[in-house]
Structure 1
Amino acid sequence: MARIALALLLSLVIAIRPAAAQSVLRDAETEAFFREISEPIIRGAGLKPANVEILLVGDQSINAFTAGGQTVYINAGLIAEADTANEVQGVIAHELGHVVGGHAMRIGDGASTATGISIGSLLLGALATLAGAGDAGMGIMMAGQRAAMGKFLAYTRVQETVADSSGAEYLSKAGISGRGSIDFFKKLQSYEFRIGVPQDDDSEFVRSHPLSGNRIQFLKDIYEKDPAWETPLNPKWERDFQRVKAKLEGYMARPEETQRDYPESDQSVPAHYARAYAWHKAAYPQKAETEARQLIASDPDDPYFHELYGQILLESGKPAEALGPLRKAVAGSDNNPLIAALLGHALVATEDRKNLAEAEDVLKSAVVRDNRNPFAWYQLGVVYEQRGDEARAALASAERDLMTGSPDLALRHSDRAMNGLPDYTPDWLRAQDIRLIAEAQLEDDKKRRR
């Protein structure tokens, strides 16, 4: 029984960890949108926008979270549920409250208190069991587990209330209305009603978050007094949000769902976006190309329309045709590294050696500006391989291996790179750094397995 109680305690500790293993979706337009709508809120929080990241997670649940540092993760399901950019801003403000409060780092404080209660109950329960009072011992253990869980949940509810209050402050300083924040909490409350989550005061004690109704009332009392409450929505942000939301649905939803939500009769930009992704995913390249060309006709200078058109052509087996639109997309987006990596891929995919020099330049620029793109490192490694530079091909592979969580491969590739590069040159030193990092990760893995 003590083992069962200990397992319950361990499950409590594991449950407080965010789902870090979930996939992050990278999209140039979406990331630019997140940066633009969050910058004034980040400044309102007293942080530097250059140090804060807002990332999209490929999870359909309605959630957002932080995992330490200054990164906010927003699930795709939350974007699908939101109706306005202002609602997303309310979520971002709340999560920044967690960031500034260091809540992800301090979660151990609440867990350690709960752990102390739980271990104490285990010891008392074991003593009672040894004394012959088995039922009493089990009762002590189970009561201790409930007390531990209650203590921990109370701690997280306090953190959530602090984040709500802090988020309201950041929105106010940014001059952004809190209406979206209220609207989104109402959506969460309606969702809880639909799935039968109890809303009475007694049920709050078994929740990690305060009751949605209580949060709404708490925030309304703050927001309605704020001068920014009547501030109208930013029309550009709202237009951009509808584009991002549409392309995300086209990418993630079943094609028939996208066709239902964005029928052919809808000739808006978001509808063309959504259908282009849906047709492309359903293997109707000509229809996808038609939608993309209609987007370009509506605004020939929009780099993201050219990016989409180039991507469709590339992934439909037409890399040479994709070069023109992708070059326009790179130029129009101030050399966005994600789009540049796509152009590099297209240049490599033409299998024309004349394109290798341009591909190397484009991909090197992409990894310098965004060192978190394993796909770009892979393509750069292919370029080096085709040009006969095996040492730098190995170095590019080692960079990619570190990002994809393969320290054993990173160690092997970094050794190969160091053996082929002149000693103490910048590339040799980078290969050495990767080797040291990979060795440390492998040693940590061994310790965890013991």
Structure 2
Amino acid sequence: MRFRRFATFALVMALSTGMLLPPAPAQALFESLSIKDEKKMGREFDAMIRAKMGVVGDPLIDSYVKGIVDKIVAAKRPMPFTIKSAVLANNSLNAFAIPGGYIYVFTGLIASAETESELAGVIAHELGHVSERHMARRLEKSKFVGIASMVGAVAGIFLGIAGGGDSAGKLGQALVMGSQAGAQQAMLNYSRSDERDADHVGMNSMVEAGYNPNGMPQMFEIMQKKKWFSGGGDIPSYLSTHPGLAERIGYLKGRIKRMPERFTQRKDDNTRLRRVQAIILAKLTPADAALGKYKSKPESEYTALDFMGRGIVLLRLKRTREAEQWMEKALAANDDDPLVLREAGRFYYKTGQTAKAGMLLQKAVFKDPKDALALFYLSLLQAENGDYNRAIPTMRKVLAAVPEDAEVHYYLGKILGESGDDFGGYLHLGYSELYLLHPRKARAHAAKAQSLAKSEEDKEKVEKLKELIQKKTQKGS
């Protein structure tokens, strides 16, 4: 069952990035893929992606990307799906969409954008694929592709790129051997048609949303310059088998020349982008590379976010004493910025200075009551102090913001158990295992919760968990 899940996931990932498929005169995989089918497929793959691919849980990053997505969706013609977005911790310049209206943006893409319009251009392009249902059409056309050869080839390509180790690469090479000849050019031509369509539909929506249309070709130029799309990253990277960037940049610039100046002269407010990039650089970029970037900038030009980021990187490198010095410089530069307060609070929590951590985290939450990460660490601190009456409601606020986060369910379960609420503890541990795609462990915790249920309300909660386990198990089988 685990291999079938991986192979299916690899198939959709490859399709969503335009990977070429081998031909085989076998039975149809799909004759017609309905919107209902796409929604079901999307929910299943989204669960796997969230469990296996390092989804970023920082609300600052998530809410920023969601805001861009929502803005573009609102400007488009009616979409066939409700769009859901997530950010994946990966340094590739990548974004992709899967069936059912799910879009994923890589941190590497966000970090490399110079303006919000550039980031919006790639997001708008991916939403163009969604609105035109290119994925459904590609899957329908794959009726000329044998199921076994298709899954084998795509899983092989995926393993060869993502496995990292020598054995994974050899396995990938073995799976894909002999299966890529034949209809590749036809599939490439089809992909060219899709990409051109998504470019133009995406540009329409980003212009309507108020962005500068130059952002789309400018982002493609950044991709072309860095050439990360040709081999970097953990999974097949954006545009690796798509039509040439030079061609696309050319026809997009030609179209922009015919637009009114009121569109091409639009200015971006990149304030939020810079804050998000500061967090990505400090937390999600390889530590040595991030430190090198900070060192290349004169300290006289540092902002509070630069001081903060350098402190975070030094802590990652276990240079705690130096890290504290930079965190203090960040607070001295701006001790009213909720992001600086949150990260300084997290630093002092992680280094065991709980009194100072508590003060900073409380101030961060006061400044930004919706910051789920600040609330999360504040709850942990309250629990460590034995203040369960405050820790539990605080963690429940976090859960309300991220209801399917396995880590939040785990810590809420742990805190509830420590407080004496064994029923609630096992219930949330069950949810944690469920969202980690561990149904057997989830069932075990649900059984323990059921044995402790006292009221009808408790029993209903257990039944809800069991039904969800059953539902997700059926999807994954």
Q: TM-score range by the shorter chain?
A: 0.7 to 0.9
In structure 2, C-alpha distance between the alignment counterparts of 1:231 and 1:340, rounded to whole Å: 41
TM-score, normalising length: structure 2? 0.75
Q: Which of residues 196, 201, 206 is equivalent to 1:166?
A: 201
Q: Which amino acid is 1:216 matched to? A: I
Q: Hey, what does 2:354 align to over in structure 1?
A: 319
Q: Is the 8 A contact 1:98 1:159 kept in 2?
A: yes
- CA offset digits 1:45-93 (Å, max 9, x no partner): 2469x95443221112221111233332111222233222221111111
1:443 Cα deviation from its structure 2 partner: 5.1
1:254 Cα deviation from its structure 2 partner: 3.9
Q: Is the 8 A contact 2:16 2:97 kept in 1?
A: no
In structure 1, C-alpha distance between the alignment counterparts of 2:199 and 2:440, rounded to whole Å: 43
Change (3 A) 1:319 1:110: farther
In structure 1, C-alpha distance between the alignment counterparts of 2:230 and 2:370, rounded to whole Å: 46
Q: Hey, what does 2:399 align to over in structure 1?
A: 367
Alignment map for 1:46-445 (pairs within 5 Å): 46=77, 52-115=83-146, 146-192=181-227, 208-227=241-260, 228-235=262-269, 238-263=270-295, 265=299, 266-348=301-383, 351-353=384-386, 355-425=387-457, 427-442=458-473
1:376 Cα deviation from its structure 2 partner: 1.6
- CA offset digits 1:255-280 (Å, max 9, x no partner): 44223212262422442233122112
- CA offset digits 1:176-233 (Å, max 9, x no partner): 102221111112233459969xxxxxxxxx9742221111122112223333543332
Change (3 A) 1:333 1:187: same
Q: Which amino acid is 1:249 matched to? A: L
RMSD: 3.3
Q: Which amino acid is 2:339 matched to? A: Y
1:13 Cα deviation from its structure 2 partner: 7.4
- Match of 1:146, SS state, is coil
* Greater RCO, 1 or 2 (C-alpha within 8 Å, sep 6+): 2
- Match of 1:66, SS state, is strand
Change (3 A) 1:422 1:161: farther
In structure 1, C-alpha distance between the alignment counterparts of 2:367 and 2:133, rounded to whole Å: 38
Q: Looking at secondary structure, tell me which structure has more helix per residue.
A: 1
Aligned residues between the structures: 400
In structure 2, C-alpha distance between the alignment counterparts of 1:55 and 1:244, rounded to whole Å: 14
Q: Which amino acid is 1:16 matched to? A: L
- CA offset digits 1:352-405 (Å, max 9, x no partner): 22x111000101122123202222211211121112111110001011111111
Identity among equivalent pairs (%) = 23
In structure 2, C-alpha distance between the alignment counterparts of 1:297 and 1:14, rounded to whole Å: 46
Q: Is the 8 A contact 2:304 2:340 kept in 1?
A: no
TM-score, normalising length: structure 1? 0.79
1:44 matches 2:50? no
- Match of 1:73, SS state, is strand
Change (3 A) 1:345 1:107: farther
Q: Is the 8 A contact 1:113 1:151 kept in 2?
A: no
- Match of 2:183, SS state, is helix
